[in-house]
Each structure stands twice: as C-alpha cells, then as structure tokens.
Amino acid sequence: MPELLFREALNQAMTEEMERDEKVFLIGEEVAEYDGAYKVSEGMLARFGEKRVIDTPIAELGFVNIGIGAAMGGLRPIVEVMTFNFAILALDAMVNTAAKARYMSGGQLTVPMVLRGAGGAGGALAAQHSQALESQYTHFPGLKVMMPATPADAKGMLKTAIRDPDPVVFIESEVLYRMKGEVPEGEHLIPMGKGEIKRSGKDVTVIAWSRQMWNLLHMVDDLCEETGLDIELVDPRTLRPLDEELLFDSVRRTHRVVIVEEGHRMNGFGAEISDRIQQHCFDQLDAPVTRVTNLDVPMPYSPPLEEKVLPNRQRIVEALRAVAYLD
C-alpha cells in the first residue's frame, strides 16, 4: 500500500471524485493558481481547468453562498476555506441556508456540498488562527461533520463527503497536512457516521479525533508503559452523526473513559460525548468520565506556551491515572 502525505491523500480523493463526476468542482481561496494555501489542490488547475478549479476573493460569506447556490442547482461543490477561523464569517450561510434547505423546502432542495479546510492550532499562529470550532457545526441539525486523523481516513472520508446528498463540514488539522501514512489505492470509502477502534485495550477507553488522535497513536505505547494501563483508542471520525454504539461498546469493555480534544472545555464536543456515555453506560463506569482539553485561554503565539495550552502528555497521563485511581 503506498504511503502518502495527508494533503496528498486529500488531493487524490478530490481528483478521483472530479474524474468520476463532472458535477464536482473546487472553489476557494488560492486553490487554483497557487495550488492551495497548503498545497492540497496542487496540480488540479492544470488537470481540470479554470472552470472546475476556481480562485475566489477573501470573502468567505460570498463564495460559501456561491457554493450553496451551485449545490441547489445540481452541482457538487467542494468549497475550501483557508482556515475554519475564517469560516466564522460564513456561519450564517451554513447554518441558516445549507443546513435548513432540505427541511424548509420539504425535500425539494438539497445542498450536496463539502465545506473543507484547516482547523485547530497550526503552530505559532496565535489566537485568531488557532481555534478548534467543530462544536459550532455539530450543534445544527442538517449539517454533517467529519474530522479525519490519518491519511487513509482523509481520503476515504472525503470521497464519502463529496458523494453525500447533504452539506458536510470537513475539518482538517493544519498540523497533519505534512504527516505521512499508508493509503489504499482506488475506490476507498469510509461510511458516514462510522468510527474506528484505532488500538484495542482493556483498561481505559481514550476517545479523540483529528490531530489529537494522531498524537495519541504515536504516544500510546509510552502511555501504556508509564501508567501500566492497556489503553483502547477510539476515533469517532464523524462527529455528526456520531457512532454511539462503537463508543458505548468500548466503554462497556473498559469501564473508564478519557476524552482528549483540541478545543476549550466549555461546550466542547467532548462534553456531548461524555453526556451520552453517562446516560447510556452509567452503570458500566468505574470512574467519572474525564476530559483533557485546551486550557481556557486564547491561544498564545509563543510555541512553548501553545504546547502548554494544548492537550499534552503530562495532562493526559494525569487523566489516565485519575480514572484508574492510581494516585
């Protein structure tokens, strides 16, 4: 199986879907002439031409609405925002138009589009460019939200998102674009709403997604050795709809849960997962569900301070020891 960078896997997914379906096109900031702000769309302008790979002004509300209109008209746009920090400007379009069009038209209108781009902290980008905003979108019925953690997931999930009949918010960690992993060739689809156990274990369930799952995959053996716990890693992959049964089955096996998320504690998506676990698995829990989140401050510009604010190894170890009553 070939190894690809995360951004190459995304490029492969879009290229394959544009070759498969002439209704699919890419629109966004710097996607064409510059080959993408993070080189995700590299080579696509030359391959598909300026009618299907389209540069826009820095005007998120405008071009996201163009994508919504195109989707209502029968096309399948992939709308790239340079960062989801900028997509805040287009939140009205997504939650008041895209999310509600099918319901408010009685099924006469659909919005088969993907809003995708970078989210979370990218490394010394400061407070206005380092926010994890997935909870904004999971709040609204009518939107689906996907967040891949590996190159293979990036390809399989994006292909599924492009084919979906409803609006999909597809958030990619900026840090992961340069990470490499094995990616299946050809038709590789990961079903919407299907999570995955990334590592089996018997002592504690650790739930994470996107960058935090990638980080855990690369530190889990050390965490097991340091704590003496056999850790199970569970990646929901799709946050809405959520693969509840995968999470619940894991909790019923391990009886302990730690949720690691890049975002603030207040109203973070981990709180939703925690609520569902306590509602459906309360009698199976041997300890309260514990969450490791960003510290409750705007993201500092300083790299050492950014590392302190983000979930880090020390705080994850403390959470693991706490749920296992090792202290």
Task: Tell me the per-residue pLDDT of 199-240, one tens digit each, with 9 for 90 and over.
Answer: 999 999 999 999 999 999 999 999 999 999 999 999 999 999
Domain layout of the chain by residue ranges: 3-182, 196-323
Give residue 288's identity as a one-letter amino acid code: P
| Residues tagged active-site | 60, 129
Give residue 11's identity as a one-letter amino acid code: N
| Whole-structure pTM value | 0.96
Split at pLDDT 50, 70, 90, the class of 327 is confident
Return the CATH number of the domain spanning residue range 3-182: 3.40.50.970
Q: Taking residues 61-81, report their average pLDDT.
A: 98
Q: Which residues pair with 116 in a beta bridge?
A: 80, 170
- Please say whether the beta carbons of 116 and 158 come within 8 A: yes
Among 22, 34, 140, smallest CA distance to 82 is for 34
Split at pLDDT 50, 70, 90, the class of 190 is very high
Three-state secondary structure call for residue 138: helix
Distances (CA, A) of 31 to 49, 65, 120, 179, 269: 12, 17, 20, 20, 30
112: tokens are: 């088969």
Judge if 3-182 and 196-323 fold alike in CATH terms.
yes
Question: What pLDDT, in 10s, does the model give residues 30-59?
Answer: 999 999 999 999 999 999 999 999 999 999
Rounded Cα gap, residues 110 and 107, in angstroms: 7
Handedness of CA 285, 288, 292, 298 (dihedral sign): positive
Share above pLDDT 70 across residues of the chain, in percent, rounded to a whole number? 100
Please calculate the CA angle 232-309-267 and round it to the nearest 5 degrees. Answer: 70
Rounded Cα gap, residues 63 and 32, in angstroms: 14
Share above pLDDT 90 across residues of the chain, in percent, rounded to a whole number? 98
pLDDT number for residue 186: 87
Whether residue 1 has pLDDT greater than 90: no
Q: Does domain 196-323 sit in CATH 3.40.50.920?
A: yes
Question: What pLDDT, in 10s, does the model give residues 120-143?
Answer: 998 899 999 999 999 999 999 999
